[in-house]
Amino acid sequence: PKPIYLKDYTAPDYRFAKVVLDFELGEEVTVVGNTISVEPTFAAGGDPRPLFLNGDPTVELAGVEVNGTALDASAYVLTKKGLTITAPPAAPFELKITTKIKPQENTELEGLYKSSGNFCTQCEAEGFRRITFYQDRPDVMSEFTTRITADKAKYPVLLSNGNLVDSGDLDGGKHFTVWEDPFPKPAYLFALVAGDLGMIEDKFTTKSGREVALRIYVEEHNLDKADWAMVSLIKSMKWDEDVFGLEYDLDLFNIVAVDDFNMGAMENKSLNIFNSRLVLATPQTATDMDYSAIEGVVAHEYFHNWTGNRVTCRDWFQLSLKEGLTVYRDQEFSADMNSRGVKRIGDVARLRMAQFPQDAGPMAHPIRPESYIKMDNFYTVTVYEKGAEVVRMYETLLGKDGFRKGMDLYFERHDGQAVTCDDFLAAMADANGADLTAFKPWYSQAGTPKLDVTTEYDAAAKTFTMTCTQSTPTTPGQSDKKPVLMPIAVGLLASDGSDMELTLEGEAGAAGETTKVLRFSEASQTFVFTDVAEKPVPSILRNFSAPVRLSTDLTQEDLIFLMANDSDQFNRWEAGQTLTRALLLDLVEKAGKGEELVMDQAIVDAMRNIVNLAKEKGADKAFIARAMALPSEGELSEMVVPADPDVIHAARDFVVKTLAKELKEELLWTMRDNTSEKYERDGESRAARTLKNTCLALLSYLEDPEIDAEAFRRFKTADNMTDQISALSALSGRADCVEREEAIDAFYEQWKHDPLIMNKWLGLQAGASLPNNVENVKRLVDHPAFDIKNPNKVYSLVGGFVGGTPINFHAADGSGYEFLGDIVLKIDKLNGGVAARMVGGFTRWRKYDEKRQEMMKAQLERIVKTEGLSENVFEIVSKSLE
Which residue numbers are catalytic? 301
User: Considering the rule CB under 6 A, would residue 313 count as an interface residue with ligand HT7?
Assistant: no
Least Å distance, CB 803 to ligand HT7, is 20
User: Considering the rule CB under 6 A, would residue 263 count as an interface residue with ligand HT7?
Assistant: yes
Neighbours of 91 (CB within 10 A): 10
- In this complex, which beta carbon is closest to ligand HT7, that of residue 333 or of residue 715? 333
User: Considering the rule CB under 6 A, would residue 301 count as an interface residue with ligand HT7?
Assistant: yes
Amino acid at 60: E
Chain-centre distance of CA 601, in angstroms?
Answer: 38
**SS3 category, 653:** helix
Residue 500: which of ligand HT7, Zn ion, none does it interact with, CB under 5 to 8 A by kind?
Answer: none
| Range in contact with ligand HT7 (rule: CB under 6 A) among 122-130, 433-441, 562-570, 727-735 | 122-130
Element (H, E) at 109: none
Task: Decide: 327 and 388 in contact? Cβ < 8 Å.
Answer: yes
Residue 432: which of Zn ion, ligand HT7, none does it interact with, CB under 5 to 8 A by kind?
Answer: none
Number of chain residues interacting with ligand HT7 (CB under 6 A): 15
Tell me the per-residue interface mask from 310 to 329 with Zn ion, x by CB under 5 A, - otherwise: -------------x--x---
Residue 368: which residues within 8 A CB-CB, separation 6 or more? Answer: 6, 317, 318, 319, 320, 421, 443, 444
- In this complex, which beta carbon is closest to ligand HT7, that of residue 147 or of residue 304? 304
| Range in contact with ligand HT7 (rule: CB under 6 A) among 119-127, 194-202, 626-634, 795-803 | 119-127
The 3-state DSSP composition of the chain as helix, strand, coil percent (nearest 5) reads 45, 20, 30
Q: In whole angstroms, what is the distance from residue 349 CA to residue 504 CA?
A: 31
Give the neighbor-by-neighbor strand order of the sheet with 516-520: 516-520, 486-493, 537-540
Q: Nearest-CA neighbor of 444 among 388, 484, 406?
A: 484
- In this complex, which beta carbon is closest to Zn ion, that of residue 285 or of residue 326? 326
Least Å distance, CB 379 to ligand HT7, is 5
Least Å distance, CB 20 to Zn ion, is 28
- In this complex, which beta carbon is closest to Zn ion, that of residue 225 or of residue 392? 392
Give the neighbor-by-neighbor strand order of the sheet with 265-266: 198-205, 211-218, 252-258, 271-275, 265-266
The two beta strands, 524-529 and 463-471, are antiparallel
Residue 727: which of ligand HT7, Zn ion, none does it interact with, CB under 5 to 8 A by kind?
Answer: none
Q: Check the CA dihedral 82-86-88-94 and report its sign.
A: negative
Q: In whole angstroms, what is the distance from residue 773 CA to residue 448 CA?
A: 34
- In this complex, which beta carbon is closest to ligand HT7, that of residue 66 or of residue 256? 256
- In this complex, which beta carbon is closest to ligand HT7, that of residue 296 or of residue 631? 296
Least Å distance, CB 876 to ligand HT7, is 14
Residue 558: which of Zn ion, ligand HT7, none does it interact with, CB under 5 to 8 A by kind?
Answer: none
**SS3 category, 388:** helix
- In this complex, which beta carbon is closest to ligand HT7, that of residue 226 or of residue 381? 381
Q: In whole angstroms, what is the distance from residue 715 CA to residue 729 CA?
A: 10
Chain-centre distance of CA 660, in angstroms?
Answer: 32
Binding ligand HT7 (rule: CB under 6 A), the pick from 52, 134, 239, 379 is 379
Q: In whole angstroms, what is the distance from residue 403 CA to residue 422 CA?
A: 16
Q: Nearest-CA neighbor of 730 among 774, 756, 693?
A: 693
Least Å distance, CB 264 to ligand HT7, is 6
Least Å distance, CB 759 to ligand HT7, is 18
- In this complex, which beta carbon is closest to ligand HT7, that of residue 267 or of residue 875? 267
Task: Decide: 122 and 110 in contact? Cβ < 8 Å.
Answer: yes
Q: Nearest-CA neighbor of 446 among 507, 560, 391, 368?
A: 368
Tell me the per-residue interface mask from 519 to 558 with ligand HT7, x by CB under 6 A, - otherwise: ----------------------------------------
Q: How many residues can be counted in the chain?
A: 882
Task: Decide: 848 and 643 in contact? Cβ < 8 Å.
Answer: yes
Tell me the per-residue interface mask from 811 to 840 with ligand HT7, x by CB under 6 A, - otherwise: ----------------------x-------
Least Å distance, CB 124 to ligand HT7, is 5
Residue 731: which of Zn ion, ligand HT7, none does it interact with, CB under 5 to 8 A by kind?
Answer: none
For ligand HT7, which residue has the nearest CB? 263
Binding ligand HT7 (rule: CB under 6 A), the pick from 51, 97, 125, 502 is 125
| Range in contact with ligand HT7 (rule: CB under 6 A) among 117-125, 231-239, 659-667, 850-858 | 117-125
Residue 55: which of Zn ion, ligand HT7, none does it interact with, CB under 5 to 8 A by kind?
Answer: none
Least Å distance, CB 308 to ligand HT7, is 7
- In this complex, which beta carbon is closest to ligand HT7, that of residue 128 or of residue 529? 128
User: Considering the rule CB under 6 A, would residue 260 count as an interface residue with ligand HT7?
Assistant: no
Q: Check the CA dihedral 102-106-109-113 and report its sign.
A: positive
Residue 557: which residues within 8 A CB-CB, separation 6 or more? Answer: none
The region that residue 464 occupies, defined by phi over 0 for left and psi between -120 and 50 for alpha, beta otherwise, is beta
User: Considering the rule CB under 6 A, would residue 315 count as an interface residue with ligand HT7?
Assistant: no
DSSP code at position 678: S
Binding ligand HT7 (rule: CB under 6 A), the pick from 136, 139, 219, 323 is 323
Residue 122: which of ligand HT7, Zn ion, none does it interact with, CB under 5 to 8 A by kind?
Answer: ligand HT7
Least Å distance, CB 187 to ligand HT7, is 14
Binding ligand HT7 (rule: CB under 6 A), the pick from 124, 260, 385, 633 is 124
User: Considering the rule CB under 6 A, would residue 367 count as an interface residue with ligand HT7?
Assistant: no
Binding ligand HT7 (rule: CB under 6 A), the pick from 118, 160, 262, 420 is 262
**SS3 category, 37:** strand
Least Å distance, CB 872 to Zn ion, is 19
- In this complex, which beta carbon is closest to ligand HT7, that of residue 188 or of residue 244? 188
Residue 263: which of Zn ion, ligand HT7, none does it interact with, CB under 5 to 8 A by kind?
Answer: ligand HT7
User: Considering the rule CB under 6 A, would residue 623 count as an interface residue with ligand HT7?
Assistant: no
User: Considering the rule CB under 6 A, would residue 328 count as an interface residue with ligand HT7?
Assistant: no
Q: Nearest-CA neighbor of 328 among 299, 360, 369, 358?
A: 299
Q: In whole angstroms, what is the distance from residue 810 CA to residue 871 CA?
A: 26
Q: In whole angstroms, what is the distance from residue 447 CA to residue 464 CA?
A: 31
Binding ligand HT7 (rule: CB under 6 A), the pick from 181, 260, 267, 295 is 267
The two beta strands, 211-218 and 252-258, are parallel
DSSP code at position 518: E
- In this complex, which beta carbon is closest to ligand HT7, that of residue 22 or of residue 389? 389
User: Considering the rule CB under 6 A, would residue 636 count as an interface residue with ligand HT7?
Assistant: no
Cα 494 to Cα 93, 544, 552, 733, 778: the distances in Å are: 74, 21, 18, 45, 57
Angle, in degrees to the nearest 10, between helices 721-732 and 738-751 = 140
Q: Nearest-CA neighbor of 449 among 424, 485, 490?
A: 485
Least Å distance, CB 300 to Zn ion, is 5
- In this complex, which beta carbon is closest to ligand HT7, that of residue 125 or of residue 453? 125
**SS3 category, 768:** coil
User: Considering the rule CB under 6 A, would residue 376 count as an interface residue with ligand HT7?
Assistant: yes
Q: In whole angstroms, what is the distance from residue 106 CA to residue 109 CA?
A: 6
- In this complex, which beta carbon is closest to ligand HT7, that of residue 123 or of residue 825? 123
Residues lying near Zn ion in the complex (CB under 5 A)? 323, 326
Residues lying near ligand HT7 in the complex (CB under 6 A)? 122, 124-125, 262-263, 265-267, 300-301, 304, 323, 376, 379, 833
